[in-house]
A and B are shown apart, each in its own frame.
Chain A
Amino acid sequence: MIRGAVQPDAAGWASQARALFLKDVRAELRTRVALSSVGLFTFAALLLIALATRVLKETLTVDLARLPEAVTSEQIRAHMLPAWDDPGKMGLLWVLLIFSAFAGLAHSFVHEEEAGTTLALRLSMAPGAVYAGKLCFNLAVVLCVAAIATPAYVLITGLHTGPIAEFLVLMIAGCLGLGAVATIVAALAAKARGTGGLFGALGLPLLIVFELMLLNAANTLYGGDVTPLQSIKDFGGLISYSVLLIAVSAVTFHFVWEE
């Protein structure tokens, strides 16, 4: 059994994680494998969404429960709402970001095996530092994708951001959870020598719950008359999910990493 390096102190652990993160960033800037695959996928997906939702954006609907018994056409027009509302648009945005991230992050551990650097990492770095470095890199990729895709999506679909601070908290919390899931699932799939199909099969069920909570937070974001306690509950739930997932992954990662 090949064990990892001797556990370093906190400063050594942080410098190992930073070194791995910078190594991955330099490798990615040199080869641009993840960026190009993610970029192309995101661009194609945005184009598909723009084409598919062209008519949906202009469709209006009315909630019959809000209308009086005897209605006039003016009353109906006054109560018409977009058929595709902002929470729905937010949900589709996160579906787009999830699949874009999966397109780019599935190979974050596999390419170490292909490049022959896995043994060197095992011998020179603590498993916790490897996990932290890979997590930071995956988070950076997800944040870059979100930073580029979200404004384009807002332009295409007309998504309203609502209160900008809460919108940013929601997006950053979402990227944190997405990066956390992608990192541990990539490690498992690489060790299982699975294909991209295995990565999706393992990762998507973990993310469906997260998507549910994101949609709930989006309803709060666009709800209008929401108490601060409700906002704290919904956004806090998102952040706590991500933090718990990172904690459990960090504790169990060395069982995946070590031979």
Chain B
Amino acid sequence: MDLTNGRNIASSAPARVPGAWWKYACGALMCYVIYGAFFIADGAAGFGKGGDNARAVFFHVPSAVLSSLCYFIGVVYAGMYLFSSRYNNLETDAKSSIAMELGLLFCTLATITGSIFAGIQWGVFWNWDPRETSIVIMLLLYASYVVLRLALAGRPEVRARLSAVYALVAVVPAQFLIWAVPRLLAGMHPTDTLQTSSGLSLHYKLVLYPAFLAFLLVFVWLFQLRLRAIKLVSRREAVS
């Protein structure tokens, strides 16, 4: 699999990694979120352990949102691979697969943190609540995408095409899971429970909004690392 696109590899290796400043900022922001989740935000009324159970929202909600966002990004790259002659290359396919792999990671994190929250809040770690069911089915969709790619490991062009088609076909159940199922089926999942009549409290905004940004930066960082790793492997294969 050649991701070099015919470039002279030996002369293109950079002397230092550009843009490292935002990675330091990401690390600092994540440290702030962890500190803020336990020491800045107060416990919320109506939640277990004296309201402390609500602190899971700073990790669970960004993970859940990112798992949906990753799928959207993966589908966009899959569509670009199939329908655009300019982006019909293995690098686009690699970006699609990386987004889906990271989606699987964040979906797993959302499932675990949600389950821990449910165990503390309601005494049972799994209730078959519609949102809980939705997240585990998203996990299955991501996993089946990975299984398809593994089954086609030795045929990169075919793998790119078929996995892009599967990602696009699976958009239908994914969108029903994200938007339709939680609204069709009543559940126990807390919605709008952290909000007062005047909206989210200032202490929660000070931590939750940076948490979204921190998780997004982590995703971008992991995406870059994974893409660079894949390109390094392709350089090695092209040289050998």
Contacts and interface: CB of A to CB of B under 8 A. Distances in A.
A215 to B, nearest CB: 9
A114 to B, nearest CB: 19
Given A194-B151, A205-B173, A208-B140, A237 B161 contact: no
Interface stretch (B3-11, B41-49, B176-184, B190-198): B176-184
B17 interface: no
B151 A206 contact: no
Contacts of A188: 148, 162, 165-166
B151 A198 contact: yes
Interface stretch (A16-24, A82-90, A244-252): A244-252
Given A188-B165, A202-B166, A205-B144, A255 B173 contact: no
Interface size range on B against A: 20 to 34
B112 interface: no
B181 A249 contact: no
B177 A209 contact: yes
Interface string A208-242: 11101100100000000000000001100100010
Question: Chain A: interface secondary structure?
Answer: helix
Given A191-B158, A192-B151, A205 B185 contact: no
- Which residue among B82, B141, B176, B181 has the maximum number of chain A CB atoms within 10 Å of its CB? B176
A184 interface: yes
A202 B184 contact: no
B168 A248 contact: yes
Contacts of B162: 188, 191-192, 256
A253 B133 CA distance: 29
A237 B168 contact: no
Interface residues of A, number: 29
Interface in A117-172: none
Consensus secondary structure, chain B interface: helix
Nearest to B171: A248
B80 interface: no
B184 A205 contact: no
A202 B82 contact: no
A198 B147 CA distance: 8
Contacts of B176: 209, 213, 237, 241
B232 interface: no
A202 B147 contact: yes
A208 B147 CA distance: 17
Contact of B140 (A205, A216, A255): A205
B238 interface: no
Contacts of B148: 188, 192, 198, 201-202
A256 B157 CA distance: 12
B169 interface: yes
B184 A255 contact: no
B181 A212 contact: yes
Most buried by A among B168, B172, B181: B172
Nearest to B175: A244
A-B CB proximity, top 10 nearest: A209-B173, A205-B140, A252-B165, A244-B172, A205-B144, A205-B141, A245-B172, A201-B147, A192-B151, A208-B137
6 contacts: A204-B140, A208-B140, A209-B176, A212-B137, A241-B173, A244-B172
Given A192-B152, A194-B151, 5 more contacts: A201-B148, A212-B181, A245-B172, A248-B168, A248-B172
Interface of A: 184, 188, 191-192, 194, 198, 201-202, 204-206, 208-210, 212-213, 216, 233-234, 237, 241, 244-245, 248-249, 252-253, 255-256
